[in-house]
Amino acid sequence: MRKIPNNGNLRMTKVAYPLGLLVCLFIYVAYIKWHWASATQAFLSITETASGAQRGQQAHSPQGMAARGHEVFYGIMFDAGSTGTRVHIFQFSQQPGEVPTLTHETFKARKPGLSAYADDVEKSTPGIQELLNVAKRDVPYELWKVTPLVLKATAGLRLLPGEKAQKLLQNVKEVFKASPFLVGDDCVSIMNGTDEGVSAWITVNFLTGSLRTPGKGSVGMLDLGGGSTQITFLPRLQGTLQTSPPGYLTSLQMFNRTYKLYSYSYLGLGLMSARLAVLGGEEGKPAEGGEELVSPCLSPGFEGEWEHAKITYRISGQKAAGSLYQLCASRVSEILRNKVHRTEEVKGVDFYAFSYYYDLAVNAGFIDVEKGGSLVVGDFEIAAKYVCRTAETQPLRSPFLCLDLTYVSSLLQELGFPGDKVLKLARKINNVETSWALGATFHYIDSLSRRRSPAP
């Protein structure tokens, strides 16, 4: 028997198919429209951030981070020191209206320092490129164009003849310009000593919380590098402000506050430069005719070689009667005479000491190499006397230890620190390196922000 078709079902099918197609088409169009709007918004957000940063704004985070109430941004700082070049990649997080928080740091060092390439600047390029590659791996790709890249050179380049230093800096600037990061006209420079001290002061006071906590007392900073040494603190006494020599006071604007700091850098009084001066050598010049440098600060009978700033010197101890410590202290006193300003206020300020202060305290057994610690200024003198007395009768594991400890002890006393003054020594605070690089990065980004939003 022939089956009679069901006309009702047929009519429903004819209606359902077109209706289903319309629904599917509507969903597809809605999806395309939503996807295009989202993509456009994301693109505009990134390009707006990039173009804003090119006009001097700080880097902004991706939109997803901003949606959670804070933004993430980066800063790259090259520290071109006298003994090596170091790159610091800092990651910051900031809640609206608050002081930024450091959330991560990547650090890598490379030797020798830029000044070692003064006679062949092109040879410095591979090392700079190697450190740039570290930054590329650490900073998210979408933030490269809005992440400021800066190199600041310290005493090593300050001690070079001007023309050689400028050629080195120009070469670095060309390498930076070819990178994908945010590079301004001031991306490469030689820091003056005051800037170095101020930047280190920002670092330690940020890490100890005094820059973020109103009313919390600040701490002072002592840094002993290879070519220079710095002292920086925030004076509270009018006497300090009134009696400080010209060039010893500087103003710092940071996080919408202004600080009047006592800060000075003594070029040529860093530990390596002081060694050379005590030995009787001259910075940047080989000994005349390869002559041996003789010093009362080395063990009698000691003979050897010492390399400083790519120059090798022949050195030996002085065969003389008398206390090695007294002879060395007398020689160091000649080097420091009338070169250091003493201020009484340092007696009442808490100080952190870094770099070679730290290393010498470790070598003398006063602090743990990893954890750091505290000592009193007089400990350096006690150690110097002991080490120098030992050196009179037997070779030292480090021929310069008597000289170095004697120099540091004398330097601190000349700066006004009494023997019972406590110093804190640290390489890290809250697991963050205590170099000037963090403070300089903060200051640079803060200045970019002020240029973007000038005060009314």
Instruction: List the one residue out of 195, 243, 229, 223 whose CA is nearest residue 335.
Output: 229
Quote the CA–CA distance of 31 and 204 in Å, as a whole number. 52
Peptide bond preceding 140: is omega within 30 degrees of 0, i.e. cis? Answer: no
Candidate list 196, 345, 381, 414, residue with the active-site label:
196
- 226 annotated as ligand-binding: yes
Burial class (CB in 10 A: 0-12, 13-18, 19+), 108: middle
Cα dist from 60 to 33, 104, 123, 146, 365, whole Å: 27, 16, 35, 7, 46
Handedness of CA 133, 138, 139, 140 (dihedral sign): positive
Helix (H, G, I), strand (E, B) or coil at 19: helix
Quote the CA–CA distance of 442 and 99 in Å, as a whole number. 10
Place of tokens 């000289």: 403
Handedness of CA 396, 398, 400, 406 (dihedral sign): negative
Place of tokens 């990065």: 441
Contact 299, 391 (CB under 8 A): yes
Instruction: List the one residue out of 271, 158, 259, 135 whose CA is nearest residue 199.
Output: 259
Quote the CA–CA distance of 249 and 232 in Å, as a whole number. 9
- 227 annotated as ligand-binding: yes
Quote the CA–CA distance of 201 and 244 in Å, as a whole number. 18
Known catalytic membership, residue 288: no
Cα dist from 166 to 117, 161, 401, whole Å: 12, 9, 35
Cα dist from 50 to 31, 118, 148, 221, 356, whole Å: 29, 35, 11, 36, 40
Instruction: List the one residue out of 250, 437, 180, 236 whose CA is nearest residue 348.
Output: 236
Determine if residue 346 is left, alpha or beta; phi over 0 gives left, psi from -120 to 50 gives alpha, anything else beta. Answer: alpha
- 229 annotated as ligand-binding: yes
Place of tokens 């205590």: 434
DSSP 395: -
From the annotation, which residues make up the binding site? 226-230
Q: Give me the active site residues, please.
A: 196
From the annotation, which residues make up the binding site for ATP? 226-230
